[in-house]
């Protein structure tokens, strides 16, 4: 596996896999221009894909709204991202709970 960035690894596929599933490359500059000034809600932001997405967008001019059940880790991630460009709001909530969704909204 080849490391791409903050904890992101890319599996090296064989010829047939690349033929059937060609690699997709992210145009980071185009993404930054498209997202500039936008608000992005990320659920599950304290682990896995949600956490990686939050860190990936941290250097962009966006407002990240991070939502996750684990409040302590969420606050830790918020503090790290605040050192970057993005504005960050964090809300500990379980989106399976209607009362917590209402409070989030």
Joined tokens for residue 44: 């599950």
For residues 72 and 92, the answer to whether their CB atoms sit within 8 Å is no
- Cα distances from 83 to residues 18, 78, 104, in angstroms, run 38, 9, 24
pTM above 0.85, yes or no: no
* pLDDT (tens digit per residue) in 52-104: 999 999 999 999 999 999 989 999 999 999 999 999 999 999 989 999 889 88
For residues 35 and 58, the answer to whether their CB atoms sit within 8 Å is no
Pure H helices in 1-105: 15-20, 28-35, 48-57, 71-82, 98-104
Whole-number Å distance between alpha carbons of 35 and 91: 21
pLDDT value of residue 63: 98
């Amino acid at each position: 596996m080849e490391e791409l960035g903050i904890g992101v690894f890319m599996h090296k596929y064989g010829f047939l896999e690349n033929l059937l599933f060609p690699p997709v490359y992210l145009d980071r500059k185009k993404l930054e221009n498209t997202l500039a000034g936008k608000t992005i809600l990320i659920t599950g932001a304290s682990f896995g894909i949600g956490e990686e997405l939050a860190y990936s967008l941290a250097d962009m001019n966006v407002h990240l709204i991070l939502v996750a059940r684990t409040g302590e880790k969420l606050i830790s991630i918020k503090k790290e991202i605040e050192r970057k460009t993005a504005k960050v709001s964090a809300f500990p909530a379980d989106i399976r709970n209607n009362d917590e969704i209402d409070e989030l909204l």
